[in-house]
């Protein structure tokens, strides 16, 4: 399954390369909402909230009312998760809050989130740089790998969203062998992102049992939606 992404920064839809360099920006929300309305799931990320430099809460909630979204970016409390679900999001993506600076998995918080909002509404965001999990808007790495984290979070989530930051926004392709390895670690839905550039690649991931988040290739029309 192809999952289009909407990343928000400074009140605009943007595409960044490797989470840092701004490559594209759009103000025409109606165009993209209409374009993505045929998809069963859209990914909606508040980059300002993820980077701890403000937020786009009003925009997130407006879009979540109109598209079937899994929403993320800076969700650090159960209260905020509930706000997004109440606004219409189907699921919430929890990333940095699941990991400590010491390189441990915050399973207590994961369990509390699952109990409070329902595990079926929780997606664990596993973002990596050079093989290690990256947090706080991908600015900080912790001494933890996806292979270590996923089994610990398995009981508390409906899906794992793995973002390969090294290839994010580059349209250089996602490492298929990584998807194959991760697929063996969990029985939950596996969603991957980072450099996906063609329908052929989406199909190859689908054959492995992984869904594909696509951003740059959609916005540059390399991949038709």
What is the distance of C-alpha 16 from the center of its chain? 14
Q: Rounded CA gap, 186 and 159, in Å?
A: 9
Quick one: which H or E segment has residue 150? helix 146-153
> Quick check: 13 and 32 in contact, CB under 8 A?
yes
> Quick check: 190 and 222 in contact, CB under 8 A?
no
Q: Rounded CA gap, 131 and 89, in Å?
A: 30
Q: Rounded CA gap, 171 and 215, in Å?
A: 9
Q: Rounded CA gap, 135 and 27, in Å?
A: 28
Kindly report the number of other CB atoms within 10 A of residue 72's CB atom: 25
DSSP state of 73: S
Catalytic residues: 7, 127
Kindly report the number of other CB atoms within 10 A of residue 85's CB atom: 18
The DSSP bridge pattern shows strands 91-94 and 69-72 to be: parallel
> Both tokens of residue 28?
């025409």
């Amino acid at each position: 399954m192809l999952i289009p992404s909407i990343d928000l920064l400074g009140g605009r839809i943007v595409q960044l390369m490797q989470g840092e360099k701004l490559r594209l920006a759009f103000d025409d929300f109606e165009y993209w909402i209409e374009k993505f309305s045929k998809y069963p799931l859209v990914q909606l990320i508040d980059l300002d909230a993820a980077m701890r430099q403000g937020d786009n809460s009003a925009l997130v909630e407006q879009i979540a009312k109109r598209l079937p979204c899994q929403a993320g970016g800076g969700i650090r409390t159960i209260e905020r998760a509930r706000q997004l679900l109440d606004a219409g999001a189907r699921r919430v993506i929890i990333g940095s809050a699941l990991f400590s600076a010491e390189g441990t998995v915050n399973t207590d918080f994961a369990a509390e989130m699952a109990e409070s909002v329902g595990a079926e509404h929780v997606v664990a965001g596993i973002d990596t740089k050079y093989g290690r999990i990256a947090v706080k808007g991908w600015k900080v790495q912790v001494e933890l790998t996806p292979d270590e984290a996923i089994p610990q979070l398995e009981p508390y989530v409906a899906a794992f969203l793995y973002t390969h930051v090294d290839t994010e926004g580059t349209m250089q392709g996602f490492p298929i062998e990584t998807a194959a390895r991760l697929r063996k670690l969990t029985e939950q839905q596996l969603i991957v992102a980072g450099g996906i550039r063609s329908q052929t690649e989406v199909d190859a991931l689908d054959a492995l049992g992984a869904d594909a988040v696509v951003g740059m290739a959609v916005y540059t029309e390399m991949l038709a939606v």
